Every structure is written in structure tokens, then in C-alpha cells.
Structure 1
Amino acid sequence: MRTAITTIAVVSLLAGLTATAGASEPLRWRDCGEGVQCADVRVPVDWARPHGARTSIGLAKIPARDQASKLGPLVANLGGPGATVPHVPQLKGSFAELTKWFDVVVFDPRGFGASRGVTCPKPAPVPDLKAWPPNREAFESYAEANRRFAQDCTPALGALRDELNSWQGAHDLDAIRVALGQRKLNYYGNSYGTVYAQNYVEIFGDKVDRMYLDSVFDHTNPDIRSWSLSGPAVTEANFHRFAKWAQQDAGSALRGKDVLAVWDRVITAAQRNPIPAPGAGRTVAATEIVMAAPSGFEQEWPNFAKALAQADTGDATLIATRRLGGMDPDLSRIALCSDFPYDVSYDSLKRVEREARERAPRVGWRSVWLMGYHCAGLPKVGTYPPKPIKARELPPILVASGNHDDGTPPEFAKRVSAQLPGSRYLSAEGGHAQYWAGRNACLRDRVHRYLVGGELPAPGTHCAA
């Protein structure tokens, strides 16, 4: 396995080889439904060996409305890491405004979806979220199951096994630029799509024209403690927002009550004895209630208010029968953990949890276990660990974040923005994926002004809801 230091040492050589490798075959666009066109870019499996085996990166293009006056392509990645290209025909509405000026070109990361997507023969393990965060024994058992999952997937990954990290992804992104015939890259990265951007600006900073980063996933912090402690305060603040809503809203089952007092009473009772859930034929422990509590997803608030009110009467059926959220696709955790090979041992995460409980004692502390959920037990192969950005020759970059986003908290975006000379941080009211999934007209207007004319918002600008 090559180390990150060895990999970095060949960056200057590879920067010169990227254009040649990426431009060797012209793009051949084909219709893939709903007015969307698709194509593939051939790239090396390993950019450290640019003349070796090759793989494909899948693209989906939503053409600009006026081809005669368009500004060119805007390359986009919506995050995950995961597949987006197969869904672009259904996502066209999210990019409709951008097609006034750009061909919007979405790509899937290597190994996902249209980019020769890999399917592992066995699904990744799913922890018992009713008892998560786990005790040591349960955590070690889960880590072993996760290790076996990755081992079983190795034959399916083939040559890509060690090559899923964002260093490879940044080079793939530059190959896309070259294949599109562009001297400079215009890029919109959302969530994990910002990880590729953070590495791109360091390796190919002189190739950037405009770059908009939304809901930044910080790949610049090598310390799992401070990285993990960026989110709990936002999660806790979102829970307090829920409590305020539940106390005041006419449709809330807890209207007129001190919701935080109700919560504390229910948790104390569940810690003493798990609460019966007769409709589910079992009991519910305090940890499960903490995991069920809503955060920034306001659509969940009415149902949880009912569940908490019911639990306060001694019946936790609504909590026990709630629909659990979706799990990460199998390959996503392998790619993510190659970029974030943190120490996710039980002792490491437990230490961070203790500190998080001091800052976010009701629910925020739970988020420190998420990286353990993804990465526990996975072998550290093909890694490209987080490190500070050292970028040169960068134009101004626009970085935005929703102030209620606890998945990619504002502290991530602020930290990354501070390392991009001349960049501007834009705060917005709301949660994750502000441009793509949000409806904040102010933010969209600021993004359009920047991408089209390079106009940055004034320092300290906040886009209200």
C-alpha cells in the first residue's frame, strides 16, 4: 500500500500528465432520457500509473437552454459518495435555473453508478440502532462484521480496491475538465462533492475558474476529536428548536408543555427501567429514545412530538415502531473511510463522546459515533487522510452552509473557507444541501451572481429563510 506521503510526492509529475491521459478520447454524448445526454471519460485506475489499466467516469449533461449564448459547462457532484447520474433525469428541476447559463454536467465518482459501479456480493452490516451507540462488546462485534463485509467485497472491487480515495477523484475531475475542452474548471460541489474540490484546489489550483462549495464535508482536519466535536452543538441546538416549536405550535401533541422537562423526565424514567412499548411487544431503552430524537429535519417534528408525549405516559410504542432512516450504500463507506482513516476504536470514540456530552448533553453527543458506524473494522487501504489545504494561484471561491446543518456543520465550511485565499463564506438559514435541496431564494441569487459574473456576497452575509 502506498502511503499518502508517497502519493503526494508524485503530484507535480501527475499534474502534467493529467491533460494527456484525460484528453486521449473525445466525449461521445448519447441520449439517456428526458433530454439528458450521457458520456464516459476514460481515466487511469491509478493516477500514479497513468499509462496502466483504465476505468470510466460516467457523465450526465443537462444542456443549456440557449446553446449559442451559454457560458460553458458547470461540472457538479452532489455528494454521497454515491451514484447520481442515473437519477439526473428526475433531478433536472433542481438545475433548471443554472441551465440559463451552463451545460450542467454531473459525474459519478469512480466505482459508483455510471462510473462502472461496483456491487458488493454481500450487504454492509447494519447496527442495531435500538441499542446504538453500543457497548464495547456490541461495537467489537459490529466492527468484525464490517471487516468481513469489506473482505468479501474485495474481488468485486478488483483493481479499484485501493483507488477510491479523493486524491484519485481530484485527478478524475481534472480529466473531466480536459475532456470537456475547458482551459479552466467551473465546479459546483455539494456535501461529499466538496471533498474532491478540496483536493482539486491543492493539486490543480491554477485550473479553477469558479467554484461553489455547498454543505462542506471537511477533509482538512486530521484530528478526529475536533472533527467529531464540530457537529454536536448544532444537533443540540436543533433539538432546542424542536422543543420551542413543540411547545408553541397548535398542531403539536406537546403544546403548552415544557418540552425539555418532558424529555428529561422520559429519559430519566427509561434509564431507570426501559419503557414498555405494548404495541411493539418490547421495551424501549433511553439510548433508543436519544437516537430517535429529531434534529434538523423539521418534517419529523410532529410525529416525534406525539411519540414523546406518549412515552411520557409510560407507553413508548410510537418510538419503538418508528421508521428508521436509510443506510449508507455499501460502497460509500469503503470510499469514505479511505479518505477518513481516523481512529474509530471504541475507546477513541468513547473519549470523544464524554467531551461531547458536556457540550451537548441531551442528544448532540450521539453524532460522534457516526464515523464509527461507517468505518469500524474496515481495513485502512488506499487511504488519503485529511490534511490542511496548501493552495496556490486560487481565484475567489464561494463557500456556503446552512446554519442548522448538523451532518456537515457550519464549522466545517468555515474551517475550509479560511484555508482558501480570497474565498467568501455565505451563511444561510436552513439545513443540508442549500442550493440543491433548499428553496432559499437569497442563496440561489448569490450563487448565480457568483457563478455567472464572479460577484461575491459582502462579508458576513446571511441569507434568511
Structure 2
Amino acid sequence: MRITIGKAAALLVVAVLLGTAVQGVAAAVPRVEWHDCGDGLQCGSVRVPVDWGDRASARIDLGLARLPARDQSRKKGTLLHNPGGPAPAIEYLPLMEGALDELTEWFDVVVFDPRGFGASGGVSCPEPVPFTLDWGAPDRAAYDGFATANRAFADRCAAAMGPLRGKLNSWQVAHDMEAVRVALGQRRLNYYGNSYGTVFGQVYAELFGHNVGRMYLDSLLDHTSPDRYPWTVAKAEVSERNLHRFARWCDREPACALHGRDPLATWDRVVAAAERAPIPAPGASVPATAGLILGQARVGDERDWPGFALAVAEADAGDASRFVPRLPPPPGAIGPDLAGVMMCADFPYETDYRAVRRLSDRLRDTIAPRLGRTDAWYPAATHCAGLPRVGTYPPRPLRPRGLPPVLIASGSADHVTPPGHGRNVARQLPGARYLPVEGGHALYWSGNPCVRGHVHRYLLDGTMPATDATCPAT
């Protein structure tokens, strides 16, 4: 396309107005060209380097999708959203419309597939990610078996990754987000990150804080703790607390299968029995080891409590079938091929079996004797054991410059992204506000009206919750 002097001057003005991007992100990125892609969505893309550290590297197209504001004449701006995973988002956007509908009263809501996923150069590995049920406290043989399978998966997927191998981490994604900001024509980026999307948000705030307008981080996963122990303690405390909440419910609820018994003592007896020898699980694919039972415990969501109580009662009687899925998950059911690859690049914590076992034992002997010790095995025994360490961007304290106040919220019962993570990051961001919520994961998505009210006021005009504000459960 021929560019006239007038057009070139206009592009220069746009680049100046948008601000000079740093660390190799070109300010004059072409604007997104949107097209209709069905279900009321508009789709587009942004072309970015595979490696933001090498301007001469190959290019990929980042996929974008937009839910336009319902009344464009009253639109307040654009809100970039990543729902987490890490995983594709665009293909699921029609299912998310209801959860995001209120936001489209004021914003064009744009989602993106992170590099390597979906419409952003999505990688399909020749075989699925390995899966193990026995991860809650695996023995050495189970752990080594998973690590061997995971290494074989990575080796066989290396060719499919191509130039993206070693380039799947939050540092690269944050630079992608900066390119998206410029391509959307936004002087400042408004961002709503959920779950793993908060990792991208933290790194963007560190690298491009001066380009942030509003940032809401929901169910935050802390990417600032180099020491794995406090990072894991925050999770373990919630897991242990959830088990005690379950026990108190059982004591007062006649419908609980353990009512009238000591729920915690019964749980201890089941785990101890499984540690001596796997508990039979007639009709299931495998017997129930202690690692399997601990890994399959579901106590964070109150809706799971009746089923969990029944599973514990039956296991105490010698049948642990309810802890064992009847069939192994189909390929792809445990997440996209590269979810673990990106997570382990961002969180390259120690995966040596003896080191993880020591952490688990330390938790068992201090704050988490019953259930929380299983959090020591995440993500080592679920994603990272055996994976080569390439292209890592480890957690580090945040020192953002020019960042406006950020709103962070976490659910009290969420052990995956626990309140301790949100509070720790909020302390590192000047002017940030932490909103405690009684609830679980993905608070805005869950429809909590208190959370939604605070988020809307913040995104619209920057109004923060009061310093003593809290939100009850829905």
C-alpha cells in the first residue's frame, strides 16, 4: 500500500499520542481491522514477533475477538480481558457473553488468545498432555512415571512448537498486550484479568505501568514470590481451612453422611489406611492410593460437601470408588497442550521429588496436617515435573513505574488463587486496593453483585471500595 506524506504524518501523530512503547514494542502498530465472525462477535488480529527480545524473529498473528458496546455513542472505551487458563478464550467467548454483558453497557470488551493457543498460532502437539490421578501426595514411582511421560510429551511437541518453543511466558505475553493496546488505538490500557490472566496483568503492570488506565485482577495468582514456601503456604492455609469448614457443616447438618461422627477423625483414618495400602475401588479404573484420595478431595465449594462426605464414609467402610473417576479423561480434557508449558515457564519452582516431598512434610508438620500439604505438589506433580526449563520468566517482586491504583479481589475459599496471593501483590502496588470476598474462584464471573458493583464503579471512574469494604457470599 502506498503511504503519502500526509498519511505518514498522521501515523506519526498517532504514535506520539499513544505514547512511546518500551522494550522493543513498536508504537506505530497497524490498527486492528475487525470483521464479523458470528454470534454477535467481531474478530481481528495483531501481528507480533515470536520473540520480543529479537526484532528480527519470525511473526505470528495474535487472535482477538470483540463484544462491541451496546450503544457505541455512549461507550466509555475498550476493556481488554483474559479469562485465564492459560487457554484459548475466543472460542469460548459466546459462552462468556452473559457474564460480560453488563460490561458491554460501557465498553467494547476485547479478549485475546495468548500466544501458542487457539487463534494465536495455536500449537497442536502430536500426543496429549500426560495425566495422573495420583498427584495429591505421590510416591516416588508415581512421580517419576509422570515426569518421564511429561518429558516425552515435551520432546515430541518441540517440532510443533517451532519458533514458539521457549517463547511462551508472561514476559512475551505482556509485550503482546502492549502491541494490542496500540493496535486498538488506546492511549491507556483498561484490563480485566481473571485467574491466570492476573499473571499477565502483573507483568504488564511491571513493564508498562505508565500505559495502564484501569486494571482489575480477579482471583490473583501471585507471580512475585521467588520463594515457593510462602507462595504454597497461602494455598495450604485455605485448603486446610476449607476442610474444617466442611467438618463444622457436617456436625450441624443431619443430611451429611458423617453427621454424628467426627468428620476429621474419619478423614484421618481413611488417609492413613490408604497410606498403608490402596483402598479397593470396585468398578473403578485403579485402586485409591493416598495420593489419589488427597488429590481428589473437593471441599472448597459447599455444593461439593454432600458428595465428599459420602465418599469419605464409604471409603472408611472399605470402598473408595467415589474418589476414582470411572474413566480416564479424554485427550484435551485437562487443558490445552501448552497450558503446563507456559505455567512452568512462569513458575519454574523446584521439581526434584525430594525437595517437593520436604515441602509437603513441612506443611504437614506445621499448618496443614490433613489436606493443605497436597498444595506442595502443585504444579510439580500436575504440570512441571520432567519439562525442560526453556524460556522461563520466574516470579519476582514488582517495582512498577507510573502505575495508577489497581483493584484486586480474592475469594476466601479459593485455594488455587488464595487471598494471601492477592494481599501480597496489593502491598507491592502503590495505591492498590484489596477487596476481601466470601466466596471461591472467578468472583466477577460468578455474578457476585457486591463484587460487580465495586468493579463497575472502579472501571467507570476509578472509584475504589472503602478501605474496610468486604463482599459477602452470593
Q: When the two structures are superposed, what TM-score results if normalisation uses the length of structure 2?
A: 0.90
Which whole-Å CA distance do the structure 1 matches of 2:105 and 2:327 have between them?
40
User: Which residue identity is paired with 1:342?
Assistant: Y
Root-mean-square deviation over aligned CA pairs: 2.0
Following superposition, the deviation at residue 289 of structure 1 comes to 2.4
User: Which residue identity is paired with 2:247?
Assistant: A
Q: Counterpart in 1 of 2:342?
A: 335
- Contact 1:217/1:413 (8 A) holds in 2: yes
Q: Relative to structure 1, is the Cα distance of residues 110 and 277 closer, same or farther in structure 2, using a 3 angstrom cutoff?
A: closer
Following superposition, the deviation at residue 273 of structure 1 comes to 4.5
Following superposition, the deviation at residue 28 of structure 1 comes to 1.4
- Contact 2:210/2:402 (8 A) holds in 1: yes
User: Which residue identity is paired with 1:35?
Assistant: G
Which whole-Å CA distance do the structure 2 matches of 1:130 and 1:168 have between them?
33
Q: Which runs of 5+ in 1 are unaligned?
A: 1-12
Q: Counterpart in 2 of 1:62?
A: 67
Q: Relative to structure 1, is the Cα distance of residues 64 and 286 closer, same or farther in structure 2, using a 3 angstrom cutoff?
A: same
User: Which residue identity is paired with 1:344?
Assistant: T
Of residues 369, 376, 394 in structure 2, which corresponds to 1:385? 394
Which whole-Å CA distance do the structure 1 matches of 2:238 and 2:427 have between them?
20
Q: Relative to structure 1, is the Cα distance of residues 228 and 323 closer, same or farther in structure 2, using a 3 angstrom cutoff?
A: farther
- Contact 1:190/1:433 (8 A) holds in 2: yes
Q: Counterpart in 2 of 1:118?
A: 123
Q: Counterpart in 1 of 2:8?
A: none
Q: Counterpart in 1 of 2:113?
A: 108
Matched residue of 2:74: which SS?
Answer: coil
- Contact 2:99/2:447 (8 A) holds in 1: no
Of residues 406, 413, 426 in structure 2, which corresponds to 1:417? 426
Of residues 391, 412, 415 in structure 2, which corresponds to 1:406? 415
Matched residue of 2:428: which SS?
Answer: coil
Q: Counterpart in 2 of 1:72?
A: 77
Following superposition, the deviation at residue 330 of structure 1 comes to 1.8
- Contact 1:38/1:61 (8 A) holds in 2: yes
Q: Counterpart in 2 of 1:4?
A: none
Q: Which runs of 5+ in 2 are unaligned?
A: 1-19
Which whole-Å CA distance do the structure 1 matches of 2:88 and 2:458 have between them?
27
Of residues 80, 99, 102 in structure 2, which corresponds to 1:97? 102
Q: Counterpart in 1 of 2:268?
A: 264
Which whole-Å CA distance do the structure 2 matches of 1:136 and 1:330 have between them?
25
Which whole-Å CA distance do the structure 1 matches of 2:285 and 2:404 have between them?
60
Of residues 442, 445, 461 in structure 2, which corresponds to 1:453? 461
User: Which residue identity is paired with 2:110?
Assistant: V
Which whole-Å CA distance do the structure 2 matches of 1:189 and 1:282 have between them?
38
Of residues 422, 428, 451 in structure 1, which corresponds to 2:437? 428
Following superposition, the deviation at residue 134 of structure 1 comes to 2.0
Which whole-Å CA distance do the structure 1 matches of 2:80 and 2:376 have between them?
32
Which whole-Å CA distance do the structure 2 matches of 1:141 and 1:269 have between them?
23
Following superposition, the deviation at residue 51 of structure 1 comes to 4.3
Instruction: Give matches, 1:343-382, under 5 Å.
Output: 343-358=350-365, 359-373=367-381, 374-382=383-391
Instruction: Give matches, 1:49-448, under 5 Å.
Output: 49-127=54-132, 129-130=133-134, 132-280=136-284, 283-321=287-325, 327-358=334-365, 359-373=367-381, 374-436=383-445, 438-448=446-456
- Contact 2:117/2:336 (8 A) holds in 1: no
Following superposition, the deviation at residue 415 of structure 1 comes to 0.9
Greater CA drift, 167-176 or 142-151: 142-151
Matched residue of 1:168: which SS?
Answer: helix
- Whether 1:37 and 2:39 are equivalent positions in the alignment is no
Q: Deviations over 1:119-149 (max 9, x none)?
A: 111112112x246532223322321221121
Which whole-Å CA distance do the structure 2 matches of 1:276 and 1:139 have between them?
21
